[in-house]
């Protein structure tokens, strides 16, 4: 009883204030995010293939349109592949299936306002590309999780060559899952691919070679109790290996490297963090930015800042 109370207290003081930095005035679902070297946040959305940028440090941050990526209705994973250059995956969104899955590059290094945008690869065999990460030692190589195929595609953003690099049951949703989304968030950290699987409620890792071609065994790091009614979406990992995970419907979870995990913001009947979709580290790890999707009706996607206490 007492230990339980202390845990609760520890959890509540871990996150202090939750502030809405910005929201869209029209209806927009924010799906994912990436930080630019200048601290601005790039936002991928389900809004007609539109990519937005937001300066979180301005007085009243508002998302500004960067570009509409041609041929996509929805954008998902995004990651830096060079200085101020990003790879983004998008396609034509259907019912748990995308067509025209395409990898784009958006390069701000020559022009900070009007970046050059290119479609660099098409993946006709993909079904639902989601989380995306670049290989730390060869950043022009990216890995993208496919939530429906239970697979990881590898794309060389320089040549446009793609291949299905790894397939595993633990990357897929079980066939009887009510939410048919397997691998969701995906990040390469050192020699490991870290990922969440929404339907299986797991956070797991796989050893990977530096070139993104060879994969080891899938090892489960943490499991979310399925009776929680939640699942795990995208996440960010800090320099100590601690993951901050978007946990729809209404929380942010923290997963320690050993697998212990707890809710550090939102949760319960709280309305403060609704439908979080991705997380970024801010202020040298003292806070996090969280993006959200809307409620499907009126409440639009938001960017929140959550102060962390250690
Ligand atoms: C999808 O790709 C096909 C072939 O590249 C193209 O003909 C079609 O117009 C694209 N669809 C959309 C909605 O962009
Ligand atoms: C799609 O998959 C088929 C069957 O495995 C393969 O032959 C083909 O090369 C793949 N296409 C691409 C563009 O990867
Ligand atoms: C799916 O099947 C597994 C194994 O038979 C079972 O344990 C699980 O409860 C089922 N899940 C759903 C959502 O039906
Ligand atoms: C944006 O946020 C403000 C302040 O919380 C809220 O009043 C408004 O309804 C929100 N707008 C949308 C479209 O979600």
Token code pair at residue 137: 């030692």
Pocket test for ligand 3, best of 169, 172, 174 (most atoms within 8 A of CB): 174
In a domain, 228, yes or no: no
* Rounded Cα distance, 247 and 224, in Å: 10
Q: Which of 173, 200, 223 is the last residue of a domain?
A: 223
* Distance in Å, CA 124 to ligand 2 centroid: 8
Same domain assignment for residues 240 and 213: no
Q: Does 208 reside within a domain? A: yes
Residue 293 CA: which ligand is closest?
4
- The answer to whether 235 and 188 are in contact (CB under 8 A) is no
Q: pLDDT grade, residue 10 (50/70/90)?
A: very low
Residues 305 and 183: their CA atoms lie apart, in Å, by: 26
The verdict on residue 44 lying in a domain is no
- Cβ atoms of 207 and 194 within 8 Å: the answer is no
> 149: CA distance to ligand 1 center in Å?
21
Range of the domain at 198: 69-223
The structural domain count of the chain equals 2
pLDDT in tens, 47-86: 999 999 999 999 999 999 999 999 999 999 999 999 999 9
- Would you say residue 21 lies in a domain? yes
- Give me the residue label for tokens 């109790």: 225
Q: Is residue 93 part of a domain?
A: yes
Count the neighbouring beta carbons within 10 Å of the beta carbon of residue 300: 18
79 and 219 both lie in a single domain: yes
- Which pLDDT tens digit goes with each residue over 164-216? 999 999 999 999 999 999 999 999 999 999 999 999 999 999 999 999 999 99
Q: What is the pTM of this model?
A: 0.93
The answer to whether residues 74 and 198 belong to one domain is: yes
CATH number of the CATH domain containing 171: 2.120.10.30
Domain check: are 219 and 248 in the same one? no
Q: Residue 16: is its pLDDT beyond 80?
A: no
Same domain (yes/no): 9, 140: no
266 neighbors 230 (Cβ within 8 angstroms): no
Residue 58 inside a domain? The answer is no
What is the Å distance from ligand 1's center to 97 Cα? 15
Same domain, 141 and 84: yes
Given the CA of residue 122, which atom of ligand 2 is nearest to it? 13
Both 241 and 219 in a single domain?
no
Looking at the domain assignment, is residue 112 inside a domain?
A: yes
Say whether both 31 and 104 belong to one domain. no
Say whether both 174 and 300 belong to one domain. no
The answer as to whether 51 is a domain residue is no
Atom number in ligand 2 closest to CA 123: 13
């Amino acid at each position: 009883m007492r230990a339980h109370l202390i845990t609760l207290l520890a959890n509540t003081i871990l996150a202090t204030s939750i502030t809405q930095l910005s929201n869209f005035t029209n209806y927009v679902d924010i799906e994912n995010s990436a930080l630019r070297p200048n601290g601005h946040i790039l936002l991928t959305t389900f809004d007609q293939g539109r990519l937005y940028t937001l300066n979180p440090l301005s007085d009243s941050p508002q998302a500004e349109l960067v570009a509409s990526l041609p041929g996509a209705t929805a954008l998902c994973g995004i990651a830096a592949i060079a200085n101020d250059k990003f790879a983004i995956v998008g396609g034509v969104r259907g019912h748990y299936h995308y067509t025209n899955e395409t990898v784009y590059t958006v390069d701000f290094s020559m022009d900070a306002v009007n970046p050059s945008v290119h479609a660099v690869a098409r993946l006709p065999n993909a079904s639902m590309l989601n989380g995306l990460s670049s290989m730390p030692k060869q950043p022009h190589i990216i890995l993208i999780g496919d939530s429906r195929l239970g697979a990881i595609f590898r794309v060389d953003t320089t040549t446009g060559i793609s291949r299905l690099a790894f397939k595993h049951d633990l990357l897929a949703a079980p066939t009887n899952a009510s939410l048919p989304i397997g691998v969701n968030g995906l990040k390469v950290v050192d020699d490991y691919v870290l990922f969440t699987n929404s339907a299986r409620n797991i956070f797991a890792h796989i050893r990977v070679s530096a070139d993104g071609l060879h994969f080891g065994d899938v090892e489960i790091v943490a499991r979310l109790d399925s009776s929680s009614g939640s699942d795990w979406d995208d996440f960010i990992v800090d320099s100590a290996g601690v993951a901050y995970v978007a946990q729809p419907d209404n929380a942010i979870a923290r997963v320690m490297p050993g697998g212990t995990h707890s809710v550090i913001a939102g949760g319960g009947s709280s309305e403060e963090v609704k439908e979080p979709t991705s997380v970024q580290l801010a202020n040298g790890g003292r806070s996090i930015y969280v993006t959200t999707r809307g409620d499907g009706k009126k409440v639009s996607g938001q960017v929140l800042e959550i102060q962390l206490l250690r």
